[in-house]
């Protein structure tokens, strides 16, 4: 069976993680891996999570299965957090999944069942796993213009022109906020223009929401998403709780499918539950239960929102510090585009050769396409990181 087997190419992020771990230089800087970290380099367990887990430890009397689709209470809590009152609850089918990646995978599986001929349109660039999963499923996909490397912002005209050519029944994949890997987000008016364009084309939006609360704030980060949801008859929404709840290893995700009517949503709900059965049967529940506990308790929610605002503030402060340090090193504002980005990531205008030079000569690690994670910066390493970037990229 395995004598002629060849392993797939190693994931580029995992490859960078391995190289960083094996680097013995004391001054190495990790801007590659996409997780939040404290100034001490830890990915913390939030106090709100600890308190919620303590309550569950005392109150839970069973670890029996919940349901194939997961806990409806969790679906509702995440629906309210992301969509608010933009869509009537009866129109939304929910599916608990192992992380946001599981939600993306199940969303693609649902598309393949509901409309096998649909092409999925991804932003250029997008999170690499989007394209990788589509390729694994042998589903057709294309890129639409999104990031303007010259300005560090969104190519609005190019994006809307490309989306106007999308075929009826196709799916357009959008990032809800904190675009990964560029950090360049859609403006409120962009969401309205996209809604109008997709309605005219007859295409279905799919929104990947992995970083709510890490951009401008919990409500601000989903204002555009809600505007879109209220304007279109159908939508897919994949949500991760890894970042904003710090539940990376607990794998907490949800897929929400917005249908035109509750009657249409019902068979979609059944199909989604069936998809879970074919993949891993019952989804994990511990992390989902923690999230539901936090969102359903005023005190825990207030504590969580305070902690999330602190994480967001730290990332934003490092973004500002890096832009200012680069301005000081170079004597110009070439890197000020970083200040207009949101969330943990930005994309430097670095070639693969320059990325390699930063790693080999300066012990500064980032992804090969120039993506950097602002949470990898601390006050002590901002200046050396900026100095290395200026030397290599200037």
Render the burial of 220-240: b for 16+ CB within 10 Å, e for the rest.
ebbbbbbbbbebbebbbbbbb
Alpha-carbon distance values, 86 to 82, 92, 105, 135, 221 (Å): 9, 11, 25, 33, 14
Nearest CA among 66, 75, 129 for reference residue 102: 129
Bridge partners (DSSP) of residue 147 are: 154
> Rounded distance, CA 197 to CA 135, Å?
26
CB 370 within 8 A of CB 336: no
**Pair of tokens at residue 235:** 């939508």
Counts for the chain of helices (H) and strands (E), in that order: 13, 13
Separation between Cα atoms, residue 112 and residue 93, nearest integer Å: 17
Distance, in Å, from the CA atom of 337 to the CA atom of 358, rounded to the nearest integer, reads: 20
Query: Hey, CA dihedral for 147, 150, 156, 162, is it positive or negative?
Result: negative
φ, ψ (nearest 5 deg) of residue 204 = -110, 125
**Angle at CA 19, nearest 5°, toward 15 and 362?**
125
Query: Taking a C-beta distance cutoff of 8 angstroms, is the pair 177, 185 a contact?
Result: yes
Active-site residue set? 127, 208, 210, 243
């Amino acid at each position: 069976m395995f004598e002629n087997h060849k392993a797939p190419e190693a994931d580029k992020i995992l490859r960078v993680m391995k190289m960083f771990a094996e680097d013995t230089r004391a001054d190495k800087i990790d801007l590659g891996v996409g997780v939040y970290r404290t100034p001490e380099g830890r990915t913390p367990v939030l106090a709100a999570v600890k308190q919620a887990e303590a309550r569950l430890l005392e109150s839970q009397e069973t670890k029996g299965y919940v349901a194939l689709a997961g806990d409806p209470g969790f679906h509702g809590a995440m629906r309210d957090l992301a969509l608010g009152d933009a869509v009537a609850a009866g129109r939304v089918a929910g599916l608990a999944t192992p992380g946001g990646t599981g939600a993306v995978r199940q969303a693609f599986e649902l598309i393949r069942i509901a409309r096998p001929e649909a092409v999925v349109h991804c932003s250029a660039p997008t999170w690499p796993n989007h394209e990788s999963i589509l390729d694994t499923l042998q589903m057709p996909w294309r890129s639409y213009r999104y990031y303007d490397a010259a300005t560090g912002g969104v190519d609005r005209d190019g994006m809307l022109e490309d989306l106007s050519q999308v075929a009826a029944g196709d799916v357009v994949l959008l990032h809800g906020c904190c675009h990964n890997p560029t950090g360049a987000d859609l403006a409120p008016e962009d969401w309205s223009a996209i809604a109008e364009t997709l309605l005219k084309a007859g295409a279905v939006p799919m929104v990947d929401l992995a970083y709510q609360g890490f951009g401008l704030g919990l409500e601000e980060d989903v204002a555009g998403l809600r505007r879109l949801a209220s304007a279109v008859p159908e939508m897919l929404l994949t949500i991760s709780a890894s970042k904003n709840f710090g539940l990376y290893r607990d794998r907490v995700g949800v897929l929400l499918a917005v249908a035109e009517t509750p009657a249409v949503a019902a068979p979609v709900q059944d199909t989604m539950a069936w998809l879970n059965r074919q993949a891993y049967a019952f989804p994990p529940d511990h992390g989902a239960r923690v999230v539901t506990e936090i969102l359903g308790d005023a005190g825990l929610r207030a504590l969580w929102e305070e902690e999330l605002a602190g994480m967001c503030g730290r990332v934003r402060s490092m973004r500002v510090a890096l832009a200012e340090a680069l301005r000081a090193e170079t004597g110009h504002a070439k890197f000020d585009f970083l200040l207009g980005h949101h969330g943990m990531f930005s994309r430097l205008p670095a070639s693969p050769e320059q990325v390699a030079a930063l790693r080999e000569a300066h012990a500064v690690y980032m992804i090969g396409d120039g993506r950097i994670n602002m949470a990898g910066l601390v006050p002590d390493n901002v200046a050396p990181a900026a100095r290395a970037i200026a030397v290599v990229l200037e």
